[in-house]
Amino acid sequence: MWPAGARNDITDIRGLKVGNAHDAQLASGTSVILFDAPTVASLSILGGAPGTRETNLLDPENLVGGVDALVLSGGSAFGLDAASGVQAYLREQGRGFAVGSVRVPIVPAAILFDLLNGGDKDWGRYPPYRDLGYAAAANASADPVTLGRSGAGYGATTARGRGGLGSASCRLPCGVTVAALVVVNAVGSLTIAASGHYWAAPFEIGDEFGGHGLPHPFPEDAGAPVSKLDARQGANTTIGILVTDARLDKASCKRLAVAGQDGYVRSIWPSHTDFDGDLVFAASTGAIDLPDDPVVRIELMAAASAVMARAVARGVHLANRDRDPH
């Protein structure tokens, strides 16, 4: 397994900052990655119930070559307002795609459904997500990320308890780093049957999500699908961001995002259901030229899958530390 970065989170990659904002009474929040410069990005959507903003421009054939920020938010469709708050912050900083004398900050976003998690959603005429987005952008830093019940992961849930905000990183022998930031609000379960052992255990580095390994003997009912009892269309979703410092174009970023979806499959059972909006953004800061070697490219994609699986399990583990059966 490739070693984790120094911080084992997405801030191991230079050229970006992460900000979180949440409201405990609302039981929801927002997370944002701000890039220091416009950054090449694309995405993959495999869930049956996605909610997004400004994602068509990430297709390789479309014009805009770089994004200023990426947003993950609770609040279902209301949470798409968080991107407007981030956009307002970036406009104040003079950031954005130049169109004549005007600059338009490019801020794609994805949301999850946390409207029935017990928080107070009686917000009146306008939801609070624009303010949460602005706050997350304003407090964004290159410091280690606060994980677990934080930002967009504050009100997240899974089939067996709390969801959360996770992150992980790894460094390849060629010097390239790949890292993930993910919010887990899945229909499915992160653990194998009721064992408390994570599906992502084969990829764990040290004890980053408990160090419990795989169960022995393996439960006979491990393959039985487990889901939230209140599953409904749009009510769930795992949304994440992969970033690498390898120089990639839009098409290669899309392939990286597809590899990130494999990380969901390795860590959540079941994944990509009709009731999830599973989505992965992928971005390249372009600081390091990737060696012209197909083996290295395969390694990068495999690392993306592994690091996403680790980030998923780590976020849920940190959100449920006080409930760990071990």
When pLDDT is cut at 50, 70 and 90, the band that residue 181 belongs to is very high
- Residue 233 pLDDT more than 50? no
- Least trusted range by pLDDT, from 14-23, 24-33, 141-150, 233-242: 233-242
* pLDDT score of 164 more than 80: yes
Indicate whether 220 pLDDT > 90. no
Amino acid making up residue 134:
Y
Residue the block writes with tokens 């120089």: 247
Q: What is the CATH number of the domain that holds 282?
A: 3.60.70.12
Residues 315, 182 contacting (CB under 8 angstroms): yes
Answer yes or no: is pLDDT of 275 > 70. Answer: yes
What is the mean pLDDT of the segment spanning 208-221?
88
**Three-class DSSP category at 262:** helix
pLDDT band, very low/low/confident/very high, at 71 (cuts 50, 70, 90): very high
For residue 173, being part of any structural domain is answered with yes
Q: Which helix (H) or strand (E) holds 304?
A: helix 294-319
CB proximity list for 144: less than 8 A, separation 6 or greater: 7, 9, 11
Band of residue 159 on the pLDDT scale cut at 50, 70, 90 = confident
Q: How far is CA 33 from the centre of its chain?
A: 10
**3-state class (DSSP) for residue 131:** helix
Q: How confident is the model at residue 247 (pLDDT cuts 50, 70, 90)?
A: very high
pLDDT band at 228 (very low <50, low <70, confident <90, very high): low
Structural tokens at position 308: 């996403």
- Mean pLDDT for 122-131 is 96
Residue with tokens 């690091």: 307
Longest pairwise C-alpha distance within the chain = 66
* C-beta separation of 136 from 33 below 8 A: no
* Least confident span in 50-64, 82-96, 213-227: 213-227
Q: Tell me what percent of the residues of the chain surpass a pLDDT of 70.
A: 96
Compute CA 97 distance to the chain's CA centroid, rounded to the nearest angstrom.
Answer: 24
- Residue holding tokens 């990380």? 263
pLDDT digits (tens, 9 = 90+) for 1-48: 799 999 999 999 999 999 999 999 999 999 999 999 999 999 999 988
Helices (H) and strands (E) in the chain, counts: 4, 13
DSSP state of 100: T
Structural domains of the chain, count: 1
Task: Report whether pLDDT(259) > 80.
Answer: yes
Q: What is the pLDDT of residue 8?
A: 98
**pTM, to two decimals:** 0.95
CA-based nearest residue to 324, from 183, 212, 206: 212
Phi-psi region of 307 (alpha: psi -120 to 50; beta: other; left: phi over 0): alpha
pLDDT over 50 (residue 102): yes
Task: List the structure tokens of 151.
Answer: 């930002």
Residue 258 lies in a domain: yes
CA torsion through residues 266, 269, 273, 276, sign: negative
Domain, as residue range, for 189: 10-321
The answer as to whether 288 is a domain residue is yes
- Helix, strand, coil distribution of the chain in percent, nearest 5: 25, 25, 45
**pLDDT value for 56:** 93
- Res. 229: pLDDT tops 60: no
- Which range, of 65-79, 105-119, 223-237, averages the lowest pLDDT? 223-237
Pairing state between β 238-246 and 279-288? parallel
In a domain, 1, yes or no: no
Arithmetic mean of pLDDT, 88-108: 95
Residues facing 91 on adjacent strands? none
- Is residue 107 within 8 Å of 130, Cβ to Cβ? no
Per the model's pLDDT, the better-predicted residue between 63 and 317 turns out to be 317
Q: How many beta carbons lie within 10 A of that of residue 228, not counting itself?
A: 18
Is residue 325 over pLDDT 60? Answer: no
Mean confidence (pLDDT) of the chain: 93
Q: Which residue has the tokens 């952008």?
A: 137
Which two three-digit tokens encode residue 179? 């890292």
Which pLDDT value is given to residue 234? 47
326: in domain = no
* Residue 5 counted as domain residue: no
Tokens at 229, concatenated? 């009892």
Q: Which residues pair with 157 in a beta bridge?
A: 162
Mean pLDDT computed over 141-162: 95
